[in-house]
């Protein structure tokens, strides 16, 4: 009997979606339990009264600020995180001899300066935000520079089986002034500076959405994953049962054909 890969694949997809749904549901529950601050000035008092044994996971909101912001070279935007990428775009021959478009990364640079959230009442520094869930950098600029066509360039391209199209340069940035909600572990050093960082265990988010929106979205995704898991599981079971029934009927028909074509016993008198 051939392995019914379609049914097996659906069942494996159902299991993966079920685990994703459980994970999203757990994240939503954890976010409901984090400490919320009305304003950043309240966080210092919360840290002073909080237990020193367990890490304090909090949700804070404010506008992205820095004393030494970066300035994007192409767009001129000010930001605290800037990613620059240059991709070479070209056409190349495939195995069938046709030209297909492809690209290769020539340059990928990421810069970050010390930055903090400011809500007008205080400031909280954010550390390691690029590893936080929910952080999306804004595309500050996207420029395509076409390659110049010369005889030498064309000859080299022909020998390599390539046709250079140009270079795409992209800048992504976390601009200053962006409203951001950060969920993470709050700590205060000896000089009183408060930082938010990735907790050893627990959620770490940096998102333009409020914590209530994050909880709502995670709850919706958890339900969608669960529904999709049930759908894939039902379809997978259907495919497996269908294949098993087909195999049974095939075996039955084969058995009946063998009986029908079997020679009668020879009798000796």
For residues 65 and 176, the answer to whether their CB atoms sit within 8 Å is yes
Q: Is residue 163 part of a domain?
A: yes
30 & 63 share domain: no
Q: Tell me, what's the pLDDT at 111?
A: 93
Does 43 share its domain with 103? yes
| Among candidate residues 202, 222, 249, the one where a domain is terminated | 202
- Token output for 203: 């959620």
In a domain, 123, yes or no: yes
DSSP string, the chain: ----HHHHHHHHHHHHHHHHHHHHHHHHHHHHHSEE-SSHHHHHHHHHHS-SSS-EEEEEEEEEE-SS-EE-TTT--EEEEEEEEEEEEEEEE-TTS-EEEEEEEEEEEEEE---EEE-SS-EEEE-SGGGSBT---EEEEEEEEEPP--HHHHHHHHHHTEEEEEEEEEEEEEETT-EEEEEEEEEE-TT--EEEE--SSS--EEESS-HHHHHHHHHHHHHHHHHHHHHHHHHHHHHHHHHHHHHHHHHHHHHHHHHHTSPPPP---
Per-residue pLDDT at 178 exceeds 90: yes
Beta strand 205-207 with 194-197 is unpaired
Strands 162-175 and 78-93: antiparallel
What confidence category does residue 149 fall into, taking pLDDT thresholds of 50, 70 and 90? Answer: low
69-73, 102-106, 108-112: the lowest-pLDDT one: 102-106
Whether residue 163 sits in one domain with residue 82: yes
Within a domain: 141: yes
- In terms of residue numbers, what domain contains 81? 35-202
| Domain assignment of residue 263, yes or no | no
121 inside domain: yes
Q: pLDDT band at 30, cuts 50/70/90?
A: confident
Q: List Cβ neighbours of 9 (8 Å cut-off, separation of 6 or more).
A: 236
Residue 28: closest CA among 180, 225, 228: 225
Q: Are residues 95 and 184 in the same domain?
A: yes
| pLDDT confidence band for 110 (50 / 70 / 90) | very high
Q: Are residues 107 and 87 located together in one domain of the fold?
A: yes
Give the pLDDT score at 81.
95
**Do 151 and 250 fall into the same domain?**
no
Task: Please report, for the domain that includes residue 51, its CATH number.
Answer: 2.40.50
Final residue before a domain boundary, out of 182, 202, 222: 202
Do 65 and 194 have their domain in common?
A: yes
Q: Are residues 217 and 85 in the same domain?
A: no
Give yes or no: residues 145 and 237 share one domain: no
Task: Please tell me whether residues 105 and 50 are part of one structural domain.
Answer: yes
- Counted domains in the chain: 2
Residue 149 lies in a domain: yes
Q: Which of 178, 202, 226 is the last residue of a domain?
A: 202
Residue 65 within a domain: yes
Q: Which residue in the block uniquely carries the two structure tokens 């954010």?
A: 126
pLDDT tens-digit map of 217-247: 888 888 888 888 888 888 888 888 887 887 7
Do 117 and 22 lie in a common domain? no
Instruction: Specify the pTM.
Output: 0.73
In the chain, % of residues over pLDDT 90: 26
Residues 176 and 186 in one domain: yes
Separation of alpha carbons 196 and 37, rounded Å: 13
Has residue 156 been placed in a domain?
yes
Average pLDDT, the chain: 83
pLDDT band at 160 (very low <50, low <70, confident <90, very high): low
């Amino acid at each position: 009997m051939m392995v019914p890969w379609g049914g097996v694949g659906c069942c494996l997809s159902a299991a993966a979606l079920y685990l994703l749904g459980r994970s999203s549901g757990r994240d939503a529950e954890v976010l409901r339990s984090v400490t919320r601050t009305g304003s950043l000035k309240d966080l210092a008092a919360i840290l002073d009264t909080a237990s020193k044994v367990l890490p304090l996971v909090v949700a804070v909101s404010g506008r992205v600020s820095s004393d030494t912001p970066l300035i994007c070279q192409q767009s001129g935007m000010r930001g605290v995180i800037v990613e620059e990428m240059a991709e070479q775009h070209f056409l190349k021959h495939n195995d069938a001899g046709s030209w297909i478009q492809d690209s290769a990364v020539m340059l990928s640079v990421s810069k970050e300066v010390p930055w903090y959230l400011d809500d007008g009442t205080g400031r909280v520094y954010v550390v390691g935000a690029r590893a936080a869930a929910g952080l999306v950098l804004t595309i500050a600029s996207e420029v395509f520079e076409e390659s110049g066509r010369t005889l030498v360039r064309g000859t080299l391209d022909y020998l390599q089986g390539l046709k250079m199209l140009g270079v795409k340069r992209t800048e992504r940035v976390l601009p200053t002034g962006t409203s951001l909600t950060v969920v993470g572990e709050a700590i205060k050093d000896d000089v009183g500076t408060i930082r938010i960082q990735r907790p050893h265990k627990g959620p770490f988010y940096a998102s333009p959405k409020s914590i209530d929106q994050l909880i709502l979205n995670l709850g919706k995704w958890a339900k969608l994953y669960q529904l999709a898991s049930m759908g894939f599981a039902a379809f997978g079971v259907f495919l497996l049962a269908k294949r098993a029934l087909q195999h049974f009927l095939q075996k039955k028909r084969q058995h009946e054909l063998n009986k029908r074509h079997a020679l009668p016993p020879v009798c000796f008198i």
